[in-house]
Structure 1
Amino acid sequence: MRYIFTFFVLFFLLWSCSSTKKATTTSEENMELNISDEEKQAFNAKGAQDTVRIADEETAYEIIIIDPGFNSWLYSIAQPEGYYSQEFLESRNNIYVINWNQRVLNPQRYNPNLYEMQIDYSPNIDYGYEVNYKLYNYFLYFQRKYNQRLGPFYPRIN
């Protein structure tokens, strides 16, 4: 009888310690996004795919980012376009690209699954605001998600 009582007490303790799981849904009304209707449609269409194509139509430069979560992070957490100056973005991107490429070339020290390909970025070329903006935000997202530091700056959103 004593063993049965102990068993029920242990069972009750384990059962009472489990947390309840509550399903949460996020609707567009609850998210405060500063984006146009066209961008919302593109975001909804690409949300499951999570592939971001960064291109500047004037300069014909393009970056394709395939990283789950970046697209939603870009539209919900990152600062809006126009927040940073192009000079700021170019200077930070230059530092981040140099460190990124050094890590790609050193797979024994850095995870080759994180740093797969080099980025061809030249400070002498004007890539346009959109390319620099999204590349900079990808570096912020990458550093925060994978707990990496690509430069002397702490990757923060402000």
Structure 2
Amino acid sequence: MKKTKYILLWIFVGGAVFLYACSGTKQVTESQNSSVEVTGTDSVEYDVETFNANFDIWYQRQNTLASYRSQSYYETWNRQYVSAWNAKCASPSPNWNFEPVVGYDPAEDYGFEMNHKLFYYFMYVENVLKKQIMPGGPHVTFN
């Protein structure tokens, strides 16, 4: 009988500890859920990653308001350059040592800044690195 009382006591104490532990987790979860804020103004930002410090320096020197064109101008040229760039990446040659394809969706609105920087990267490759991406590109003068 004494053994049964101790077993029942341990079951009761164990059950109480278990219930307390479960209720504590529930309170933490509820508290965490109540602090989450969802805003309707989330936005996506795009950027051009070139992994080329020389381009970044060159771009800063070329990036003047006087050289700006419209976003549609940059989008039109970027579509053509991305297509030519990715075609060169698909069939590499000894004269072409740029590997990553450019993930550019013409239906996506990347905004002015990203389109401007991407366009200028193509200009950098053609005019500074002297690697022709596509014939008949725009005639842009640089400092």
Please indicate the TM-score interval, normalised by the length of the shorter structure: 0.5 to 0.7
Conserved in 2, the CA contact under 8 Å of 1:93 and 1:135?
yes
TM-score (norm 2): 0.60
- Show the 5 A alignment for 1:9-158: 58-80=43-65, 83-108=68-93, 110-111=95-96, 113=97, 115-151=98-134, 152-157=136-141
Aligned 8 A contact 2:126 2:133 in 1: yes
1:103–1:110 CA distance, 2 compared to 1 (3 A)? farther
| Counterpart contact for 1:103–1:110, Cα < 8 Å | no
User: What SS is found at the alignment partner of 1:99?
Assistant: helix
CA distance change for structure 1 residues 60 and 67 in 2, over 3 Å: closer, same or farther? same
8 Å Cα contact 2:59/2:120 also seen in 1 = yes
Q: Give the greater-gyration-radius structure (CA).
A: 2
Determine what percentage of the aligned residue pairs are the same residue. Answer: 27
Distance 1:58 1:127 in 2: 11
Q: Which protein is richer in strand relative to its size?
A: 1
Runs of 4+ in 1 over 6 A off after TM superposition: none
Partner SS state of residue 141, structure 1: helix
SS of the equivalent of 2:47 reads: strand
Which has the higher relative contact order, 1 or 2, with Cα contacts under 8 A spaced 6 or more apart?
2
2:123 and 2:75 map into 1 onto residues whose CA distance is 14
RMSD of Structure 2 on Structure 1 (CA): 2.4
Count the aligned residue pairs: 100
Gaps of 5+ in 2: 1-41
Distance 2:109 2:125 in 1: 23
2:65 alignment partner AA: P
Which residue identity lines up with residue 57 of structure 2 in the other structure? S
Secondary structure of the structure 1 residue equivalent to 2:103 = coil
Q: Which has the higher helix share?
A: 2
What's 1:44 paired with? Answer: none
The alpha-carbon distance between structure 1 residues 62 and 81, as it changes in their structure 2 partners (threshold 3 A), is farther
